[in-house]
Amino acid sequence: MRAWHKTLLALLGVGLVLVWAGAVRPAQAQAGPTLESLEIEVWPEFDRPSALVLIHGVLPATASLPFQVSVRLPKTGQLNATAYEDATGALLASQSTVTAEGDWQRVTFPVQSLSFRIEYYDADLVIQGQARSLAFQWPADYAAKTVNVRIQEPLDTQGWQVEPAFILLGARDFGLNYYGRDYGAVPVGAPIAFTLQYTKTSTTLSQSAVAQPTTAVSIDTSTPIAGSSDLTPWLIGLGVVGGLAVLGGAGWFVWSRWPERKPAPRPRPRSHRTAPASPPAGGPPAPATNRFCTQCGQPIRAGDQFCRNCGGSVRD
């Protein structure tokens, strides 16, 4: 095999690998692992006139750490915190990146343990006088073996209605009532949704009335880990480079196989030889001579000034 054939095959091989890395790998990455468990808590009007949403997920033991958590939140949602649990159970903040994705916003952040947390405020809580309503939806970007949802009942509420039905769990954190529902195993892409309606006779937020006002979740933000950049643009770039390499290699192959046009051979110049002069036909014969060279004795022709044999000067 010629050397340029080997180079071409190597170039095409590298290009195909880059195309695979840029196209196939992102599709595989989006599938994600199946969570061991997922807990969702919704606290309407806890510390803001909106709904605070707390997400607690547990990755499978087979997940490779650090792991890039990537989930969608409502476009109108306001991200509050992203974190993971350390060995002692304390929450450590993790820097996240947020990108728009249609009617959603995708939040991506790295975690150093299997347990991760997300906090955001859902601005879809509608307040009209004393009437309140919320249409909640979690898009389930990861499948989960078990999913549990709890809703915290705000202060001074009446006419509490949840669809589908939730079970009253009684007084829990902060002495407030909670309602819960077990969704069981949830496949990826199967949204978790419910609608909530109630009336509230005051504008008092729940946090201001609890015995010890506190934030929803205590997260250590003193040493947040840096967020790893999203690999998708790099993989797409690799795919583009790979595609260009394949096209370039194919073009080079076609060009190298194209028959080369050779220039037409130039005619060789003809040599112009001067034929020796011959006496004209029928002309008078050369006159005879009776002269001889004084040096060598050879005959001298008429008109010669030098001897044709020795070169001596001819004397008259």
Residue 105 in domain? yes
The answer to whether residue 248 sits within a structural domain is no
* Residues 286, 291, 293: CA angle, nearest 5 degrees: 120
CA gyration radius for the chain? Answer: 48
Residue 279: inside a domain: no
Matching residue, tokens 């006496």:
279
Residue 193's nearest CA partner among 136, 141, 115, 256 is: 136
Rounded Cα gap, residues 242 and 246, in angstroms: 6
Helices (H), 1-81: 3-31
> Domain with 123 in it: what CATH number?
2.60.40.1730
pTM for the structure as a whole:
0.63
**DSSP 8-state class, residue 293:** -
Pairwise CA distance, residues 300 & 316, whole Å:
11
Tally the domains of the chain. Answer: 1
pLDDT at position 213: 44
Q: Which residue from 60, 41, 52 is spatially nearest to 77, judged by alpha carbons?
A: 52
Mark the ranges of the chain whose per-residue pLDDT is less than 70.
Answer: 1-31, 211-243, 245-290, 315-316
CB count in 10 Å sphere of residue 194: 21
Cis geometry, peptide bond prior to residue 139 (ω within 30 degrees of 0): no
Within-domain flag for 291: no
Q: Is residue 235 part of a domain?
A: no
For residues 28 and 24, give the distance between their C-alpha atoms in angstroms, rounded to a whole number.
6
Q: Do the domain assignments include residue 306?
A: no
Domain membership flag for residue 242 = no
Q: Would you state the pLDDT for residue 268?
A: 53
pLDDT for res 28: 39
First vs last C-alpha separation in the chain: 84
218 part of a folded domain:
yes
Residue 274 pLDDT:
46
Q: Which domain holds residue 160?
A: 32-230
